[in-house]
Amino acid sequence: RVLNAYAVMNMEVGYCQGMNMIGGLLLLLSDSEEECFGVLSCLMDRIGLADFYRDGFPLLREYLSACDEIMADLAPELLEHFRAEGVELNMYLQQWFLTLFIDCLPLELVLCIWDAIICDGLPMALQVAVTILTSLREPLSKMRFQEIATSFKTMRRHADKKGEWKVFEAGHLLVRAA
């Protein structure tokens, strides 16, 4: 109902895949649909998330292009490795941006990233994506296509040697690095 209400309120954006993840997380965090709608509206209209979902995905395209340019400067060897392995990085980045990382990272880490996005603006999402990729540059450079694809799909389940995510620390390190 929260997403339907937003789609009716902002018919230019309507509903787009990925918004369900955002709405779902908001509902997990609050018992109030009204509060969820208010936060969703703020994320979409004040923070600028709606531009990811507008017809033609203008902001998403801009972020994908910017990420490609930044990675070409910071880690050209990683991008070349992805090309050699046939990895379409934009395929993964689209999901990261459209779901604000819900689809790929542990919930506790996502909440740290959302805090940074709310406080510092949506460009923080681009900085976080670049930081994730550059932080994982070494292991990703040694992987073949299937390992890279599996790693991107299962990042939310990666654990340390004791089987625990150091999520709080990881979140703060990522945000600080971004």
Q: What is the pLDDT of residues 58-91, one digit of tens each?
A: 999 999 999 999 999 999 999 999 999 999 999 9
CB–CB of 5/26 below 8 Å?
Answer: no
Q: With pLDDT > 70 as the criterion, what percentage of the chain qualifies?
A: 88
- Label residue 104 by pLDDT band (50, 70, 90): confident
- When pLDDT is cut at 50, 70 and 90, the band that residue 154 belongs to is confident
Sign for the CA dihedral angle at 51, 62, 87, 72 comes to negative
Q: Which pLDDT score is estimated for 76?
A: 97
Of 170, 66, 153, nearest to 116 (Cα)? 170
The residue count of the chain comes to 178
Per the structure block, which two tokens stand in for 167?
């999520």
